[in-house]
C-alpha cells in the first residue's frame, strides 16, 4: 500500500529480458534499509525487490533490482523504459507513516495520454485523456494516481481531465520532464471504484 507521495527519483541502470523483464534502478535510498521481497512503487507500479546493493552511479546511494512480467509490461509504461530514464519511486506505507496523499495500491488500471500542457504562472496545467472504461471513475476534486503521484483532478470533460502541477511537484517527481503525447500509468481512486460498484449493486 502506498500514498502517492514520491520520495525519490530513480534511474534505470539496466534492462534485461529474461523471460520476465529484469530492471536495475539506481536510488538515493540506503540499500541497507531495503529488504529483499519489499514492495516499491516504480512509476506507480508495485514491484518486488529481488536484489539490492551499494555503489550507485551519479551520486546514488545504491541500487535495487525488480522483475516485471509480460502482463505488467503490456499494461503499463514499463515497456517504454530506457537506460538512463527517470522513474518516480515510493516505498510501501508503514504503520504510523503520514498519509499525505491518498490510498494507492500500485495496481495500474490503464494508460492515460497527455493531450495538452499550458503554463499558468509558475505552475503547469496538464490535460490527459483516460481510457473510456476508466473515465467514469474520475471526478472533479477527486484523486488519481498518475505515474505513482497522488494528484487532485481540477476538471473533467468526457474522457479528458485536467491536473495542475505546482513547481515543487515538478521538481521532486518526473512531471517536470513530460511532454504532449506521453503515456502515463493511471490508477483510479479505490474509493471511487467501490462507490461505483455499490451503485451498480443497488440499481
Say which residue the cell 495496481 belongs to. Answer: 107
Mean pLDDT score of the chain, rounded to an integer?
A: 92
Say which residue the cell 499494461 belongs to. Answer: 75
Q: Answer yes or no: is pLDDT of 190 > 80.
A: no
Q: Are residues 125 and 185 in the same domain?
A: yes
Say which residue the cell 516499491 belongs to. Answer: 40
Q: Are residues 14 and 68 in the same domain?
A: yes
- 19 within a domain of the structure (yes/no): yes
What mean pLDDT comes out for the span 130-159?
95
| Entry pTM | 0.92
Q: Are residues 79 and 135 in the same domain?
A: no
- 102 within a domain of the structure (yes/no): no
Domains identified in the chain, total number: 2
- 99 within a domain of the structure (yes/no): no
Q: Show the domain range for 195.
A: 110-202
- 98 within a domain of the structure (yes/no): no
Burial of 52 by CB count in 10 Å (0-12 exposed, 13-18 middle, 19+ buried)?
Answer: buried
Q: pLDDT tens digits, residue range 41-99?
A: 999 999 999 999 997 666 678 999 999 999 999 999 999 999 999 999 999 987 766 77
Confirm if 127 and 116 have CB atoms less than 8 A apart. Answer: yes
User: How many DSSP H helices and E strands does the chain contain?
Assistant: 4, 12
Check which CATH number belongs to the domain holding 122 and give it: 2.40.30.20
Q: Are residues 191 and 152 in the same domain?
A: yes
How far apart, in whole angstroms, are the C-alpha atoms of residue 122 and residue 106? 30
Q: Are residues 78 and 121 in the same domain?
A: no
The pLDDT of residue 174? 98
Say which residue the cell 497527455 belongs to. Answer: 114
- 144 within a domain of the structure (yes/no): yes
How far apart, in whole angstroms, are the C-alpha atoms of residue 41 and residue 27? 13
Q: Are residues 13 and 81 in the same domain?
A: yes
The alpha carbon of residue 120 and the mean position of all alpha carbons in its chain are separated, in whole angstroms, by 24
- 77 within a domain of the structure (yes/no): yes
DSSP string, 71-94: HHHHHSGGGG--TT-EEEEEEPP-
End-to-end CA distance of the chain: 31
- 100 within a domain of the structure (yes/no): no
- 61 within a domain of the structure (yes/no): yes
Q: Are residues 86 and 123 in the same domain?
A: no
Amino acid at each position: 500500500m502506498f500514498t502517492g507521495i514520491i520520495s525519490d527519483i530513480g534511474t534505470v541502470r539496466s534492462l534485461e529480458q529474461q523471460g520476465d523483464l529484469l530492471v536495475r534502478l539506481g536510488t538515493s535510498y540506503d540499500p541497507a534499509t531495503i529488504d529483499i521481497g519489499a514492495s516499491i512503487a516504480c512509476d506507480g507500479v508495485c514491484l518486488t525487490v529481488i536484489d539490492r546493493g551499494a555503489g550507485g552511479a551519479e551520486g546514488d546511494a545504491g541500487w535495487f533490482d525488480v522483475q516485471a512480467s509480460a502482463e505488467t509490461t503490456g499494461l503499463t509504461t514499463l515497456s517504454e523504459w530506457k537506460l538512463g530514464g527517470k522513474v518516480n519511486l515510493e516505498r510501501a506505507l508503514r504503520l504510523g507513516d503520514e498519509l499525505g496523499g491518498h490510498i494507492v495500491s500500485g495496481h495500474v488500471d490503464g494508460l492515460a495520454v497527455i493531450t495538452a500542457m499550458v503554463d499558468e504562472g509558475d505552475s503547469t496545467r496538464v490535460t490527459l485523456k483516460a481510457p473510456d472504461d476508466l473515465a467514469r471513475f474520475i471526478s472533479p476534486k477527486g484523486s488519481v494516481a498518475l505515474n505513482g503521484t497522488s494528484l487532485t483532478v481540477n476538471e473533467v470533460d468526457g474522457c479528458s481531465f485536467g491536473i495542475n502541477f505546482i513547481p515543487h511537484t515538478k521538481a521532486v517527481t518526473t512531471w517536470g520532464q513530460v511532454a504532449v503525447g506521453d503515456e502515463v500509468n493511471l490508477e483510479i481512486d479505490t474509493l471511487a471504484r467501490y462507490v461505483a460498484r455499490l451503485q451498480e449493486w443497488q440499481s
